Chains A and B, each alone.
Chain A
């Protein structure tokens, strides 16, 4: 007879249909009404934690996370991934625009494309939901802690999930992604980070070395006068555009302001575009531009107003007889080793332009560590070296669409191993837990 029925009023158990009674005692452990309470080891702690450990809270958090993930998915229709990441998943509060639901209805229910609803509402962001799930999970295990074979699967699953949530947090906080572009026959020893820009002054010292001074995007974006002892001149940012396109001056619509009086700005004019829309299936990114006036140090005479843009390479700027290459470029981090691109291959399926494989044959030279070896980087086969991983990402083309080099995606992520660990733990845990359940169920049926 079932333990739980002891608490019932005497006639009640009798009323159950016979099958009910037969099924009850063997019922799956987790689907039963609350088991008899064990004596608490830490009564106070348990009392405090019990509300946090509630399964209801788990279910509510799951539901909230689904809403967030759903909105963060639809949002990608209009905003680029980096914007979505920072406004939905890697934040504490996500401000979800009502337009998200309109967009959804436009795709699926034929709502006219012109409909637009302003405003947004706050919603718990990825950090809040993830953190709350973590607290809920840990609290549940503290309150209901019990080691047994039956629960070993659950423990493994939840342990794995904790590892995964932490891994995603570490990735969000510490992973760095960038690109390394190498032309065929050329070499590279730096990684570019295309989600930002910097204003760089490069002084050519000799064949081997350059002096680089750079102003970070944050500072440039603020605008106004930038003065620093390390800079060769003062910099006044007159306009900064997070995303832009370039037009030839003659072709620009009349009335387009063009503050530039030197450099390529005399031929091209930058037009601002909304940020974060540069992404489609090809994952294009924002291209920043700025109008900048360089001035001699200490409030001196202007050296000219330039159009600085990430579309364009360095422009010459001469200050007191020294020539600098000035550019608005993606920030670089330099590696202690160099990759030489020996060969780049782009195989297609017979008779088509569909890519079958991209591969880069590189020579890895690291004098400091005595490395000098040939490596083939290709689809699904990255190069792991000194905490960095190099993936075949795309291909460099010149203006005639000739393939002139390779682009490797470079990632360093201190948490890269955690998902693997997590996956192993959870899958094993589920296999054990559900397997035990299934065996129990089949045994009961066989016995019945």
Chain B
């Protein structure tokens, strides 16, 4: 058993590494069959960005169905590119198949009513066009009506109708070959073209546009299930397209990235870190804590690598939208917590790293469902300088504030519900919180003010009282409030934990809540799941906060503070009776100095 304890961290890291390598290696194309993996790397343009067709397929299918795969007519799970190819071959005999794929996710009762559908959990509430095709005119009519309604007055039904209608349009655009732009510009000054444009510009006479012809041949080969023709046309097309698309499009890297789904892997691994760290408090303290830390280090390496890959793909600083802010905040929090763990070695850093890491990954995966996460920036945001300074700083401010809060919550949960918050932890943990809080204040303040300076540079208003700006301001003020309350002696260890818990709620408001108002310059639109998640998060914080207000003598860890310290230190004055210590602890907690 002792041997196993020694090697446990190695085993854990080894298993994780094998798992990651297994996930990282691309499946490769069969020599005989169609080279779908090769097809996936074809550069196309959609939403203003050159990307592999794989990304286009995944994000489109994700938008429609919430998943990056689909089930074919035999119930077999297939990759998104296959769905896209089928859709592109709609007019080449695949119409029936495409109409039968259950890829339209519908969850709204009123929409069910409109389309005459029944809620169906077996297919994950996904439906095929053939199931509601006869009701498409009704959908179009309702969508037309909803479009007339002002943004903020739209009901949930209006939004869902508009969403579904746009999804149908997305599929339609693909079947009409009007999306994406597949043909790179032939020379300077020319633009990317859709296959439809190219084919109609040069009707397949003798001097036809060669890449367009090749693409068409590829589709025909696919539709007629002739792998050799498909592969041949694909090879010819790719050679041309990759030369024309230029070198800045890292389509190969992006396909690997898509396939690997690094943030999903990170989410899984963070959950294991959490489990290991929690187990380490139950028993086998040393080896399990070490295993948790090592596994966390492996995970954070994957996380960092993915973050860097995204920066390379986009050519931008790490945070450009809500999705990437989740990824970055998670990364920052994990790094910070692992630094804390490295330094204090009490398991606290592991747990907090795992919790924040896993939650932010889940958050990011959810946000990634709405489209291309490497989207292009609105004009005023098209500046790497401010993205690198203001946005990064704000995100780090969120990060540090979240870390203080989760540490505070851990303090309360461990203290109230378990005997694990011993005397040492009772004193150390608030010190860590305090230190992180100082930097949270610094970062969120600097980030907020840098945002003001950017605003002053771009529209002459240092402070616009925009909801997002106000949200950032609230974080700064709250952190300052906690610091001043501590400096003024108004709060001590427990008070610090309680107040930093509120800090999490403030971050939630600033980060996600303000967007839900749907006003202002930073508005990204309302997202129901986020609103619900936020409310649940607030509820959890309030619950922990209430627990934190329980009198100290009712805390689960109370007994450990009143027990005599071990080992007892000999000295002339250590004559205090346990009863006297208990009395003090009851009043002030163990960290209170007997002044």
Spell out A's residues near B (CB within 8 Å): 2, 4-5, 7-8, 11-20, 23-24, 28, 30-31, 33-34, 54-56, 58-59, 62-63, 65-66, 69-70, 72-74, 76-77, 81, 84-85, 89, 107-109, 167-168, 171, 177, 279-281, 348-352, 354-358, 379-380, 382, 389, 391, 393, 409-411, 413, 416, 419-420, 422-423, 426-427, 430-431, 433-434, 437-438, 441
Contacts and interface: CB of A to CB of B under 8 A. Distances in A.
A15 B580 contact: yes
Given A18-B565, A426-B445, A81 B48 contact: no
Nearest to A30: B487
A382 B380 CA distance: 12
A430 B437 CA distance: 12
A351 B481 CA distance: 49
A235 B573 CA distance: 94
B449 A423 contact: yes
Given A8-B595, A18-B569, A59-B488, A356 B379 contact: yes
B441 A430 contact: yes
A76 B441 CA distance: 26
Contacts of A280: 150-152, 519
Contact of A15 (B445, B446, B584): B584
B438 interface: yes
Contact of A413 (B424, B460, B569): B460
Given A55-B487, A72-B470, A85-B465, A15 B181 contact: no
Given A62-B480, A380-B386, A441 B431 contact: yes
A11 B465 contact: no
Nearest to B591: A20
B558 interface: no
Given A56-B488, A66-B477, A171 B470 contact: no
A409 B459 contact: yes
Interface stretch (B34-42, B81-89, B223-231, B510-518): B510-518
Given A108-B534, A380-B458, A441-B431, A11 B576 contact: yes
A379 B379 CA distance: 7
Interface residues of B, number: 90
Interface string B448-486: 011011101111111111110011011001101100111
B477 A62 contact: yes
B594 A62 contact: no
B427 interface: yes
Contacts of B575: 11, 14
A24 B461 CA distance: 47
Interface in B530-588: 531, 534-535, 565, 569, 571, 573-576, 580-581, 584
Contact of A423 (B446, B459, B486, B488): B446
A139 to B, nearest CB: 14
A12 B588 CA distance: 14
Contacts of B150: 280
B323 interface: no
Contact of A430 (B386, B442, B458, B595): B442
A430 B439 CA distance: 8
B590 interface: yes
Interface in B38-58: 45-49
Contacts of B379: 355-358, 379
Q: Which 7 residue pairs across A and B have the least CB separation, nearest first?
A: A349-B48, A55-B488, A14-B573, A411-B460, A15-B576, A62-B481, A423-B449
B382 A59 contact: no
Given A59-B481, A434-B439, A438-B435, A19 B427 contact: yes
Contact of B531 (A72, A107, A382, A413): A107
B71 interface: no
Contacts of A355: 378-379
A76 B446 CA distance: 25
Task: Identify the interface centre among A72, A76, A357, A441: most chain B CB within 10 Å of its CB.
Answer: A76
28 contacts: A11-B576, A14-B576, A16-B593, A18-B574, A20-B593, A33-B595, A54-B488, A55-B485, A66-B478, A72-B470, A77-B152, A107-B531, A108-B513, A171-B463, A177-B460, A177-B461, A350-B181, A354-B47, A356-B379, A380-B380, A411-B460, A423-B450, A426-B446, A427-B446, A430-B438, A437-B438, A438-B438, A441-B435
Given A30-B487, A31-B487, 5 more contacts: A59-B490, A66-B478, A281-B523, A351-B46, A420-B453
A431 B386 CA distance: 21
